[in-house]
Amino acid sequence: MNVLLLSMPDSFEHMPPVAIRMPNGALASLAGNVDDHHKVAVADLVLAQSNTRQTVERLVHDLEPDVVGLSVMTFQRATAFKIARLVRDLRPGARIVVGGYDPSLAPGAYEPCPDVEFIVRGEGERTFCELLRALETSSPFHAIAGLSYRSATGFVANADRPIARLASDPPRLPNRGARVLGGYTLLGRSVDVVETSRGCTYDCSFCSIIEMRGRNFHPYPIERVLADIADARRRGEGTPRGMGWEATACYGGLLVVILAARRLFIGPEEGGLFTLFGVAALWTAYRKSQVRRGQKEFWLRQRGR
């Protein structure tokens, strides 16, 4: 099957695209964890904010997707509805799936959008893979954990899928090669992301992680993290001569890796592990200190609570 995965073009107000255009790591992970015979394309529409409609039209025309997946956060919902309608107009037979924080936490909000047929709730790798298998074989959907599917009377919500145990059964590496748009940057430097863990044990009121998956923390095996870093590095080897990798921040289990104009010490023999995990430790300490100093109360005031 031909699969097109789209992240929305809307960006956070504190992440202006002129300075920050980050890849959606979840979509690359979905692409890397479907059955190998599927042809998957990933398009982060933050890279096409000025010509979103034309980009979607081109991708749908060129790729002829059987399934289109949309990754959506709450402030992107209205845009997701418009893109779903555009996809339906361009390719009426495509099956449209949504996932991400907003559909997972507010699935009822998608009832009024008839273009959306499926909701992948929570972690999506296994759920989406099983959905594609069911669509391919015309099998029923009721046994797919973590899936909601539209029926004549509205969405039917299957049982939740248990949280993935990353240490013992991690998903396969992301498929960065499925990306069909380019230009990911952070402050003018090429950037990619590497996932090191999922979940959190804090209870910050402004964060949706606890609502999404409960209070838990699951790290990847270090060998898997290093393999992911190596894959990101290989994918970035097309950058200009003399560019190297620099790990700059690790937050919420997401390691931001920047291409900088100097060499990064990746290998353990060159101090790479100290660089990567030293940054992670510093960020964790910073988060804890901010909570202790009243950061939580600050956000509560910002939200008028």
* Band (178; pLDDT cuts 50, 70, 90): very high
* Band (253; pLDDT cuts 50, 70, 90): low
Number of H helices, E strands in the chain: 9, 14
What domains sit in the chain, N to C, each tagged with a CATH number?
2-157 (3.40.50.2300), 184-297 (no CATH)
The 3-state DSSP class for residue 276 equals: helix
What is the average pLDDT value for the chain, to the nearest integer?
83
Confidence check: pLDDT of 252 > 80: no
b/e for 200-211, b at 16 or more Cβ within 10 A? beeeeeeeebbe
Q: How many other CB atoms sit within 10 Å of the CB of residue 182?
A: 11
Query: pLDDT by residue (tens digit) across 193-241?
Result: 899 999 888 888 888 888 888 889 999 999 999 999 999 988 875 444 3
Query: pLDDT by residue (tens digit) across 277-287?
Result: 444 444 444 44
* Band (244; pLDDT cuts 50, 70, 90): very low
Write the CA distances from 208 to 73, 205, 226, integer angstroms.
11, 8, 28
Closest by CA to 15, choosing from 158, 170, 185, 144, is 185
Q: Are 233 and 247 in contact, with CB atoms under 8 Å apart?
A: no
- The gap from C-alpha 217 to its chain's centroid, in whole angstroms, comes to 18
**pTM of this prediction?**
0.81
Confidence check: pLDDT of 51 > 80: yes
* Band (305; pLDDT cuts 50, 70, 90): very low
Cα–Cα distance between 49 and 55 in angstroms, integer? 9
Query: pLDDT by residue (tens digit) across 74-116?
Result: 999 999 999 999 999 999 999 999 999 999 999 999 999 999 9
Confidence check: pLDDT of 263 > 90: no
